[in-house]
Amino acid sequence: MQGIGVDAVQPFWYNLPARSVVPFARACFMRAGLGAHIYAQSAKQKGLEMKVLLLKDVYKLGRAGDVKRVADGYGRNYLLPQELAVLATPGALKQVESIRAEATTRREVLNQEMSSVAERLNGALLAFPAKASETGKLYGSITTQMIAAAVSKKAGLEIPRRQIDTQPLRALGEHKVHIRLTVDLVPEVTVIVHREGEGLSVPDLATESSPVIADQAPEIPSAEDADQAETSEAEITAG
């Protein structure tokens, strides 16, 4: 029986001149990289998910001990690194009851501590003077950091900006903003953005407590602010 010659099993590029091998190899790697990119985009479009067990209360997602399906990127890039959740493995699911019991005790204590703060904030008025166009669009924006500073002044304690549940405000007028003190306590404040140089007009001011007047000018949004805005829109932050 005649054996298969060496030439029969050699790849077609075996006899390419040396000057052609490197460009050919580079083209192959580029095609492979493009294929990986296309797969990644396809996976993103398909919305790959993962199942997690919440270790802590997470605003707009669930309470400690709940099992949730979340976007793969949200879970791996936020929930797991921040120790807000773990993968819902059979071993982890055995701890559900103990996680819920501990969380309930912790939640009750925190709610009691923050109840008076929630009462002070609920219905509070925060006023921000700002420069704006004739159509009412601000030259800049009222950011969550600015709102957090005004809220902290009203509450008498530091409120992190991640607990301000709003996108940057970019128009004159009245805006309702929720403050996430705990998963159960989410008081609502009224933010009034008025034109700089004009008096503040609040129809129900006689029945409301004096508004907190902010002394910060609107900030011009940067690329970092835009990224944070997209993140807060796409991700559910911890309570």
Would you state the pLDDT for residue 236? 37
Closest by CA position to 52, among listed 23, 82, 22, 27: 82
The answer to whether the beta carbons of residues 57 and 182 sit under 8 Å apart is yes
Taking phi first (over 0 means left), then psi (-120 to 50 degrees means alpha), and beta for anything else, what does residue 93 get? alpha
Distance in angstroms (rounded) separating the CA atoms of residues 130 and 166: 18
pLDDT of residue 48: 80
Tokens representing 15? 């006899």
User: Domains in the chain and their CATH numbers?
Assistant: 48-94 (3.40.5.10), 115-223 (3.10.430.100)
Report pLDDT digits (tens) over 182-211.
999 999 999 999 998 887 766 554 334 556
pLDDT of 207 reads: 39
Residue 175 near residue 166, CB atoms below 8 Å: yes
CA distance 49 to 221: 32
Question: In this structure, what DSSP letter does residue 206 have?
Answer: G
The answer to whether 53 touches 87, Cβ cutoff 8 Å, is yes
pLDDT score of 235: 42
What's the predicted TM-score (pTM) here?
Answer: 0.64
Binned at pLDDT 50, 70 and 90, residue 166 comes out as very high
pLDDT digits (tens, 9 = 90+) for 75-117: 999 999 999 999 999 999 999 999 999 999 999 999 999 999 9
What is residue 215's predicted lDDT score, i.e. its pLDDT?
Answer: 56
- The secondary structure of the chain in percent helix, strand, coil, rounded to multiples of 5, reads 45, 20, 35
DSSP structural state of residue 108: H
